[in-house]
Amino acid sequence: MQYKQILLTGLLCLFVFSLWAQQSASVSGTVKDSEGAPVPGASVRVSGSRLGASAGEQGAWSLPGLKPGTYTLEFSAVGFSRTEKTVRLQPGEKAVVDVVLSRKAAQVKEVNVTGLTANQQVNRQAYAVTSIDAKPLHNSSQDLNQVLGKTAGVRVREDGGLGSGFNFSLNGFSGRQVKLFLDGIPMDNFGSSLTLNNIPINLADRIEVYKGVVPIWLGADALGGAVNVVTNSKTQRYLDVSWSYGSFNTHRSAVSAGYTGEKTGFTVLGNFFQNYSDNNYRVHTGVTDLNTLIIGPEQRLRRFHDRYRSEAAQVEIGVTGKRYADKLLLGIILSQNDRQIQTAAQMSKVFGGWDQRSNTIMPTLKYKKTDLFVKGLDFNLYGSYNFGSTRNVDTLNRVYNWAGDYKDNTFNEQGQYVPGGENSRSLYKFSNNLAIANASLGYNIGAGHSAGVNYTFTNFDREGRDPLKPNEEAYETPQQLRKSVLGLGYKYDYKDRWSTSVFVKEYFVKGRSAQRVDIYTNPHWEPIYNDLSKTGYGVASAYYLLPSLQLKLSYEKTYRLPEGDEMFGDGVNHVANKNLRPESSDNVNVGAVFARKFGERHRLMVEGNFVLRDAEDFIRVDLVDTRTQSVNVRGVRNTGVDADIRYAYREVFTAAVNATYQHLINTTRYETPGSNVESAIYKDQIPNIPYLFGNLDLGVKFKKAGFSHARLGLNYHLNYVHAYYLKWPSLGYSWEKNEVPQQLSHDVSATYTLKNGKYNLSFECRNLTDERLYDNFLMQKPGRAFYVKLRYFLSKY
């Protein structure tokens, strides 16, 4: 996240720190209002310099690495009167300055950049971006997917309970078309044991959702947007321990801690988390008689083979605040997961023995330096290599039904062993050997001009083997894919009113695989190469029409390069397509944000976005006789709107509502290349994609609940998804259509905190009314479920 931060610094030049002290001193403290409540986001500036900090959630701030001397500190916050304090620092001194800001009587007209939290700063960018502040959610037992799913324009579709497969969709793009990042690092390199469905919310400081233009510092080939999870590593010393327990024997715990030596700069950061659930929630389904194979009437039965567990540890050791490095951290990510598979893509196919296991062993390196050689030049470097592997275990020769009964075929009538599997007999183990390197330079030219360059290199080199299938020659063939994304950006800020970014991205891909040739005369494998390059570009601009009204416009021509398995197949059932082209899209976002205070008590934020996506060459999996292949069929145009309204009455009551409508149309006129027969589904609406959905959130907070520093928060959340068709809407009798029905679900939660957030207890009920919920066709999700979470948080120990 520091990584991401510094790229922001380079490119946006919102704040630049200078850390050249040798025998550095530091100053820290808190900012509170006259009632003793913290003032999060308050700005602290060193007079006459560009040094500064902003106060965190608890009003705490710190300025490390100062040269000894006398400083004047200016404290300000929106709605408060400005205050100054002078402090004299001795070498190595750790001074503490606590201030109390008094509220201004008059209404604040202008929102000052320096008074914004990181969260608000992200939202102010010219890009169409939503930043979700994760800190208020740290007491919740949600994971990142559940939080993201409440955002306008976003749907996260899950197959079932904790750890189940999911598909993230943003403004009509989904799957690999939307790229996911953790602190600016592409998450597809982490393996399945570290994804949005198992990372606890406590690890996140905020989540940035880029709806459309993806800034160059997120170096990847996204077709329509990106999500960047920014973890919490700002506070220098902290400890966050949480444990939650709930329905379906769900246990989740997380420990997050950081330490930085004030003098030595020695830094240790650690994140540890664990997820476990039996996911044995009840579903409505018929039981197949194992002898007659007749499917019986619907019953309410528990899932019985859906256990999920994952454990992960991330440790980083290094130094911060040194002359040669603002940050130099060596780290390792270790994680593993084990997922039992209960069903195929439709629930009628049920399994009792199949599971998938995966692990990640990934060393990492992070380096950042501001003001490298010259002032305003910032450098950032990241590298990692994933040694992890995934194993698919399907060796149980049984047939299960939903009652959990099975017919065992392991031995035949003669008592001989019969090898078999439930879905496809397998002990396939593969390692993608993913390497990633990222380097970026940002330069603040001055007078509002800044420029940046970002280069990301990834290498995919799959090695796979199945000891049960010695004859699968395809496993022996190379599957290598190297991708590079080079981004160049330039930004100009005119005062605080107008900001424009332009950028160019160059995508390169080099692939190597093999295909079987001369199958009728001299069958053998021959290498195939697929080298591609594409140029994308875009512009994003934002203008403050009024101090409270910002208009945003952005455009991007973007590409998503084929992934290794799409281009080369999986060597078994997914065949190579060496002619696969990148997906491309023209993305336009037009948005307006209105945010202002009405009096001292009322705050209102209204945001509206219009999106246009004109995409071509969608990469889709198609059936080629017995096997599947990735093909470039489908042009899609999405014309959509989303709106978000937030209201707050003091710190007491909040209400938020958002709605998304997206109209996705098939623009492919001829389904088969070379064909001149216009397809029946030309201009039909793209099926199996939710097109109308929304969320409502209501929250109440009570201060001094029982004890003086105790707070009680109550929350209600409503989610609505309009019914949508599984297949093309125009086809078939309207009364015989397969439909994912309308969903309406209610969640409620209560959070009780003591000692200003040190001790936290929360209680949550999801799907209060026990609705039948589906994200995918007839794949039932959990009914009513209860969760309790305990959390201990200590900053600055």
Partner 1 sequence: MPALAAAIAIAIAASSCSKSDKNVNPDDLVNPDNSTFVIAVTAEGSSSEATDYVLQSKDLMTGVITPVGQGIEQKSYRMYELVGKTLLSITYQGTNVVPGYALNDKGILSKKNGEFSILRLHARGVVDQDRMFGMYCPRDGSAEATFYEINATSMSVARQAKINVFQTANNWKEWAYFNDVRMVGGKVFAPFFQIKNSGFDTQYTDSAYLAIFSYPDLKLEKVIRDERTGTLGRYASNDVLSITESGDVYTYSAAGAIAAGSAPSAKPSGILRIKNGTTDFDKDYFFNIETATGGYKLCGMKYIGGGKALAQIFSFKDHVAGDKWTNRDCRLAIIDLAAKTITNVTDVPLHTGGGLQYGCVIDKGLAYLHVQNADGIYIYKVDLATAKGTKGAKVQGKAVMGLFKMTK
Positions in 673-692 near partner 1 (CB under 8 A): 674-677, 679-681, 686-688
**610 vs 682 by CB, closer to partner 1:** 682
Q: Does 763 bind partner 1 (CB under 8 A)?
A: no
* CB of 672 vs partner 1, minimal distance in Å: 8
Half-sphere exposure of 744 (CA within 13 A, CB side): 2
Q: Compute the distance between CA of residue 503 and CA of residue 210 in angstroms, rounded to an integer.
A: 16
H/E segment holding residue 7: helix 2-12
* CB of 327 vs partner 1, minimal distance in Å: 44
Q: Does 623 bind partner 1 (CB under 8 A)?
A: yes
Closest to 501 (Cα-Cα) out of 9, 12, 4: 12
**597 vs 737 by CB, closer to partner 1:** 737
Phi and psi of 67, rounded to 5°? -70, 150
Q: Does 471 bind partner 1 (CB under 8 A)?
A: yes
Q: Which residues lie closer than 8 Å to 428 by C-beta, 6 or more apart?
A: 391, 392, 464, 465, 466, 469, 572
Count of residues interacting with partner 1 (CB under 8 A): 79
Q: Does 13 bind partner 1 (CB under 8 A)?
A: no
Closest to 653 (Cα-Cα) out of 709, 713, 722: 713
Q: Compute the distance between CA of residue 365 and CA of residue 359 in angstroms, rounded to an integer.
A: 20
Q: Does 288 bind partner 1 (CB under 8 A)?
A: yes
Q: Does 545 bind partner 1 (CB under 8 A)?
A: no
Q: Compute the distance between CA of residue 659 and CA of residue 154 in angstroms, rounded to an integer.
A: 10
* CB of 290 vs partner 1, minimal distance in Å: 9
Q: Kindly indicate which of the ranges 3-11, 322-330, 360-368, 421-429 contains the residues binding partner 1, using the contact rule CB under 8 A.
A: 421-429
CB 528 within 8 A of CB 562: no
Strands 785-795, 238-246: pairing is antiparallel
**719 vs 780 by CB, closer to partner 1:** 780
**Binding to partner 1 (CB under 8 A): which residues in 473-512?**
473-474
**Binding to partner 1 (CB under 8 A): which residues in 219-248?**
none
**113 vs 290 by CB, closer to partner 1:** 290
Q: Does 727 bind partner 1 (CB under 8 A)?
A: yes
Half-sphere exposure of 47 (CA within 13 A, CB side): 13
Q: Kindly indicate which of the ranges 211-219, 246-254, 273-281, 628-636 contains the residues binding partner 1, using the contact rule CB under 8 A.
A: 628-636
* CB of 483 vs partner 1, minimal distance in Å: 24
Q: Kindly indicate which of the ranges 8-16, 87-95, 423-431, 780-788 contains the residues binding partner 1, using the contact rule CB under 8 A.
A: 423-431
* CB of 584 vs partner 1, minimal distance in Å: 18
Q: Which residues lie closer than 8 Å to 126 by C-beta, 6 or more apart?
A: 499, 500, 501, 540, 541, 542, 552, 554
Q: Does 527 bind partner 1 (CB under 8 A)?
A: no
Q: Does 744 bind partner 1 (CB under 8 A)?
A: no
DSSP output for 488-531 = EEEEEEETTTEEEEEEEEEEEEEEEEEEEE-TTTS-EEEEEEEE
* CB of 464 vs partner 1, minimal distance in Å: 13
Can you read off the two tokens belonging to residue 476? 């022996």
Q: Which residues lie closer than 8 Å to 207 by C-beta, 6 or more apart?
A: 131, 132, 134, 144, 147, 148, 227, 228, 229, 230
Beta-carbon count within 10 A of 182 CB: 25
Can you read off the two tokens belonging to residue 118? 């990181």
**Binding to partner 1 (CB under 8 A): which residues in 386-415?**
397, 409, 412
* CB of 638 vs partner 1, minimal distance in Å: 15
Q: Does 631 bind partner 1 (CB under 8 A)?
A: yes
**Binding to partner 1 (CB under 8 A): which residues in 313-352?**
344-346, 348-349
**120 vs 688 by CB, closer to partner 1:** 688
Beta-carbon count within 10 A of 603 CB: 17
Q: Does 578 bind partner 1 (CB under 8 A)?
A: no
Q: Does 264 bind partner 1 (CB under 8 A)?
A: no
**190 vs 618 by CB, closer to partner 1:** 618
CB 134 within 8 A of CB 147: yes
CB 795 within 8 A of CB 238: yes
* CB of 102 vs partner 1, minimal distance in Å: 60
Q: Compute the distance between CA of residue 777 and CA of residue 690 in angstroms, rounded to an integer.
A: 11
* CB of 375 vs partner 1, minimal distance in Å: 53
**21 vs 726 by CB, closer to partner 1:** 726
Q: Kindly indicate which of the ranges 2-10, 81-89, 228-236, 736-744 contains the residues binding partner 1, using the contact rule CB under 8 A.
A: 736-744
Q: Does 453 bind partner 1 (CB under 8 A)?
A: no
**104 vs 634 by CB, closer to partner 1:** 634
What x-and-dash track marks residues 124-153 binding partner 1 by CB under 8 A? ------------------------------
Query: Which of 270, 383, 404, 420 is close enough to bind partner 1 by CB under 8 A?
Result: 420
**Binding to partner 1 (CB under 8 A): which residues in 349-368?**
349
* CB of 618 vs partner 1, minimal distance in Å: 9
Q: Does 730 bind partner 1 (CB under 8 A)?
A: yes
Cα dist from 501 to 487, 488, 578, whole Å? 12, 10, 36
**102 vs 346 by CB, closer to partner 1:** 346
- For the chain, what is the radius of gyration of the CA atoms? 27
Beta-carbon count within 10 A of 472 CB: 14
DSSP output for 116-160 = --HHHHHHHSSS-EEEEE-GGGTTS--BHHHHHTTSTTEEEEESS
Q: Kindly indicate which of the ranges 330-338, 540-548, 593-601, 616-624 contains the residues binding partner 1, using the contact rule CB under 8 A.
A: 616-624
Residue indicated by tokens 């692990």: 359
Closest to 684 (Cα-Cα) out of 653, 663, 662: 663
Q: Does 521 bind partner 1 (CB under 8 A)?
A: yes
* CB of 342 vs partner 1, minimal distance in Å: 15
Query: Which of 738, 755, 770, 788 is close enough to bind partner 1 by CB under 8 A?
Result: 738
* CB of 252 vs partner 1, minimal distance in Å: 32
Q: Compute the distance between CA of residue 122 and CA of residue 599 in angstroms, rounded to an integer.
A: 26
Q: Does 468 bind partner 1 (CB under 8 A)?
A: yes
Phi and psi of 189, rounded to 5°? -85, -10
**34 vs 299 by CB, closer to partner 1:** 299
**82 vs 669 by CB, closer to partner 1:** 669
Query: Which of 282, 737, 772, 796 is close enough to bind partner 1 by CB under 8 A?
Result: 737
**35 vs 413 by CB, closer to partner 1:** 413
